């Protein structure tokens, strides 16, 4: 009986020792399995990541990879040479700590041209299809990828498009007195709005003549107030992010409205924002001055 008790104590002690040893043993590192993607020489593959990309590394000079212009979370991948034989790899790290690795193979016509790695909406079982071996499952059609645009404060492109459309559809006049008229052409600012650090400017151009006004270019320029009627010195041009209804021609006795989306903007009292409209093959150029205080009083959408 005493012997059985000793054996039992030894067994319990052995089990306890095994558990302690297991806890002290380092865990096996988790394997990060790369996704298989294809790159072509004449086609570009775009990969949409859930947050801004901070690091990109390519395994060989057979491929080219980089962030898409103006976007923070979209990476373009393309073959640098035709029919490269050896498999290469691509590694991407994102701002939120995400680590992504890809095995890249050559294909003249890549099977997947856009890969969405953002949070996906659940798919009904009836919509799910077995993915090919080594290929990622496509995103649900109802899911819209979020492109993080540097210029728009990472606002969702669909939101900007909706804001532009709403301003144009409502056709409100919330600003008065910001206008210019020369040669029978009048340009007027009807409203200035802001939403999520994106500035929206609602403008109108009217042609009171019988000769069509062809628009060659539209520019938004920040300029010193005292130099607006002189040269282009001390001026900086802003990039227009998006436009709703940008007519190339304003025909005789016609009126056209346009809504512009601009990056976040504040200017000092000694500067103005200029909306400059250049006539193609003509001399009826128009320039509207938008004072700094009007920008600060932009209406919240």
What is the residue extent of each domain of the chain? 35-119+141-146, 157-300
Q: Is the dihedral of CA 280, 282, 284, 290 positive or negative?
A: positive
The pLDDT assigned to 135 comes to: 44
Does the domain at 157-300 match CATH 2.60.40? Answer given as yes
Q: Model pTM greater than 0.75?
A: no
The pLDDT assigned to 261 comes to: 93
Which residue intervals of 105-183 are DSSP H helices? 157-170
The pLDDT assigned to 265 comes to: 86
* Averaged pLDDT of the chain: 81
Task: Tell me the pLDDT tens digit for each residue of 58-96.
Answer: 999 999 999 887 778 899 999 999 999 899 999 999 877
Distance, C-alpha 125 to centroid of its chain? 31
Mean pLDDT along residues 2-19: 60
Residue 99, pLDDT above cutoff 70: yes
Residue 239, pLDDT above cutoff 50: yes
Separation between Cα atoms, residue 233 and residue 292, nearest integer Å: 19
Confidence of residue 166 (pLDDT cuts 50, 70, 90): very high
Nearest 5°: CA angle at 131, between 133 and 60? 50
From the options 2.60.40, 3.40.50, 1.20.120, 3.30.70, give the CATH code of 35-119+141-146.
2.60.40
Mean pLDDT along residues 156-177: 90
Structure tokens at 236: 């900086």
The pLDDT assigned to 149 comes to: 59
8-12, 208-212, 215-219: which is most confident: 208-212
């Amino acid at each position: 009986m005493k012997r059985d008790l000793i054996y039992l104590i030894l067994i319990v002690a052995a089990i306890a020792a095994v558990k302690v040893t297991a806890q002290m043993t380092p865990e096996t590192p988790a394997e990060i399995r790369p996704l298989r993607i294809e790159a072509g020489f004449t086609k570009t593959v775009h990969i949409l990541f859930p947050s801004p990309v901070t690091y990109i590394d390519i395994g060989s000079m057979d491929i080219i990879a980089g962030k898409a212009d103006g976007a923070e979370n979209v990476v373009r991948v393309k073959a640098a040479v035709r029919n490269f034989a050896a498999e290469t790899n691509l590694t991407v790290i994102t701002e939120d700590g995400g680590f992504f690795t890809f095995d890249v193979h050559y294909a003249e016509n890549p099977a997947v041209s856009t890969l969405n790695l953002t949070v996906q909406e659940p798919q009904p079982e009836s919509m799910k299809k077995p993915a090919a071996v080594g290929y990622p499952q496509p995103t649900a059609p109802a899911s819209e990828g979020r492109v993080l645009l540097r210029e728009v404060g990472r606002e969702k492109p669909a939101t900007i498009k909706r804001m532009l459309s709403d301003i144009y559809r409502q056709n409100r006049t919330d600003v008065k007195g910001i206008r210019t008229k020369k040669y029978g052409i009048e340009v007027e600012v009807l409203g200035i709005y802001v939403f999520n650090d994106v500035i929206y400017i609602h403008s109108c151009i009217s042609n009171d003549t019988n000769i069509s006004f062809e628009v060659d270019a539209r520019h938004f320029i920040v300029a010193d107030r005292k130099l607006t009627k002189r040269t282009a010195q001390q001026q900086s041009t802003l990039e227009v992010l998006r436009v709703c209804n940008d007519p190339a021609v304003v025909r005789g006795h016609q009126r056209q409205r346009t809504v512009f989306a601009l990056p976040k903007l504040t200017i000092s009292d000694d500067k103005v924002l200029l909306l400059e409209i250049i006539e193609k093959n003509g001399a009826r150029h128009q320039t509207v001055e938008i004072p700094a205080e009007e920008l600060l009083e932009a209406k919240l959408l």
